[in-house]
Amino acid sequence: MQSQQKCIAIFALLCCFAVLLALMFSAVDVWVEEEDGITEENCNKNCRIVLVENIPEGFSFSSNATTHLPLTVALNGLLDLAKWSVEIVSSQWDLTSLEQQTDYFSANEGQRLFQQLLNLKNRLVKLKIVSGLSHSVELNSLSDHGAEVRFVNMTALTKGHIHSSFWLVDRKHIYIGSGSMTWKSLATRKELGVIVYNCSCLALDLHRIFSFFWQLQHKDYIPSIWSKRVTALYSKDEPLLVHLNSSDAVVYVSSSPDLFCAKDRTRDIDAIQRVILEAKKFIYVSVTNYLPLVWKTSNGQQLTRYWSIIDEALREALVLRRVRVYLLISLWKKTHPLTYNFVTSLKSLCLGLENCSLDVKFFSGPEENYRSNRKKREVNNNKYIVTDNSLYIGNLDWVGNEFTFNAGNGLVIKSAEGKLEGRPTILDQVKAAFERDWFSHDAKRLQDLILSGRTAGNPGLHPVKSEIRSKDRKVMRSMSL
């Protein structure tokens, strides 16, 4: 009897040991894919970065306005470079819609890009995709052509959605920005992002975020024990020092929401807050939506609270540090009426204060597309902040719910010493893109919108007189000196 009990006890201990061993190995850094041979020791920090945009037809820019590499050209170029792997996280998959043929874009860039993705199998290039879409004809077609597609159930995990948008090619080239895998990002939406070439150190860290998404398939919870394969290599406190084109810089990638931030990973909101905090002269912000609120439904009732992190950081920069702030917010069908109240509140801080300056414009594209004669306003989908020393490009709008529930990622670049004279940095290029948009006919101040009746959804709004008019260009130039 005693020997039988001993056997049972030993068996129970062996089972516990096996479970413990499995848990230990789940938290150990075990690289299962080393085809590229890239490690933290031999990765490349001498990188090339290119600003990419999609500018829809009909936007009113001056003839000498700055232009950058078209997003469709950039993404197809990345696929041409691919030798063994392409890894994509995207919020949308709608590249083959017939709507682009009949109404908007005769070149059918979405379908062309989709065909490129299908052809990766013939080139023996692995395609891996993470999506929050459980039903997608395009993803099913790619899967039939050899792609590995994994679904992440964001509803179960955070009650949100995947808004991340980035590419990894051969673990050394990356794309990150506002554009996703929809034909609209290549045709009718105004998008902005960057491609970083031959930057395997940064790609190695971004791949850890991809690996995190990859492990979430079939899960309705976030694992309590993190694998070392998904912990951050770099952060706001320990960024990566790289050489970008003509200058030295420090970079890192960030994530949202909090549950998706593995050990040492910087949250998107903390990254944005740091960029605002370190600004000394100016802050340029271009976002689709600005709304410092969080709302959720509980017991059938919608609860709303003030989401103060970004709003308070901007107020501190304005009043205490006298940093000039320029907000460029999209005006479209989903612009919340309270947006006007919040920006008016920000502007009121500077009334009667010397050297305190905040200016706001609302950006909307042409209402009529001249090819289709359809009334449909184009959306400025940019999501970035650039200052005199830092840049953040991300996937999320500046709305409390976005950072609280949705999955997103950002890239932070801070300039360092070593810029070559006459060579514009990536910060200079984004700054120029912002100023081009700011001075275009598509950007209008709040009081002009009120007079034209474009803000009819908020009849109680009282405009605040703008403090910056014809002096804008001189002021902006002086801030960069």
pLDDT, tens digit, for every residue of 250-308? 999 999 999 999 999 999 999 999 999 999 999 999 999 999 999 987 777 889 999 99
**Please, which residues have CB within 8 angstroms of residue 467's CB and are 6 or more apart in sequence?**
350, 357, 359
Residue 23 has a pLDDT of: 44
Torsion angles phi and psi, residue 290, rounded to 5:
-130, 115
Q: How far is CA 284 from each of CA 59, 204, 281, 375, 423, rounded to the nearest angstrom?
A: 20, 30, 10, 30, 21
**How many angstroms separate the CA atoms of 134 and 155, rounded?**
11
Residues 6+ apart with CB under 8 A from 461: 340, 341, 344, 446, 450, 455
What's the pLDDT score for residue 458? 45
Q: Which residues pair with 162 in a beta bridge?
A: 407
State the sign of the Cα–Cα–Cα–Cα dihedral 274, 277, 283, 285.
Answer: positive
Q: Determine the 3-state secondary structure of 409 from DSSP.
A: strand
- Quick one: pLDDT at residue 65? 72
Residue 357 token pair: 């300056």
Predicted local distance difference test score (pLDDT) of residue 475: 47
Beta bridge partners of 255: 267, 409
pLDDT in tens, 21-74: 444 444 433 334 444 678 888 899 999 999 999 998 877 677 677 789 999 999
Q: What is the pLDDT of residue 378?
A: 73
How far from 275 is each of 306, 338, 355, 438, CA to CA, in Å?
A: 22, 25, 21, 21
**pLDDT at residue number 306:** 96
| Tokens encoding 222 | 């976030």
Distance CA 227, CA 350 (A): 48
End-to-end CA distance of the chain: 88
Burial class (CB in 10 A: 0-12, 13-18, 19+), 200: buried
Please report, in tens digits, the pLDDT of each residue of the chain (481 residues total).
556 556 555 555 655 555 444 444 444 333 344 446 788 888 999 999 999 999 988 776 776 777 899 999 999 999 999 999 999 999 999 999 888 776 655 558 999 999 999 999 999 999 999 999 988 999 999 999 999 999 999 999 999 999 999 999 999 999 999 999 999 999 999 999 999 999 999 999 999 999 999 999 989 998 877 788 899 999 999 999 999 997 899 999 999 999 999 999 999 999 999 999 999 999 999 999 999 999 987 777 889 999 999 999 999 999 999 999 999 999 998 999 999 999 999 999 999 899 999 999 999 877 644 344 454 557 899 999 999 999 999 999 999 999 999 999 999 999 976 555 567 899 999 999 999 999 998 999 988 776 666 654 444 344 433 333 344 455 455 444 4
Given this model, what pLDDT does residue 367 score?
A: 61
Give the per-residue pLDDT at 3: 60
- The total of other beta-carbon atoms located within 10 Å of residue 462's CB is 9
C-beta separation of 325 from 312 below 8 A:
no
Q: What is the number of other CB atoms lying within 10 angstroms of the CB of residue 40? A: 10
Question: Looking at residue 225, what is its pLDDT?
Answer: 78
Angle between helices 338-348 and 309-319 (to 10 degrees): 30
Residue 239 contacts residue 251 (beta carbons within 8 Å): yes
C-beta pairs of 32-36 under 8 Å, 24+ apart in sequence = 35/84, 35/85, 36/84, 36/85, 36/170, 36/171, 36/172, 36/200
**Which pLDDT does position 131 carry in this prediction?**
95
Phi/psi of residue 104, each to 5°?
A: -125, -60
- Please name each of the domains of the chain with its CATH number: 46-479 (3.30.870.10)
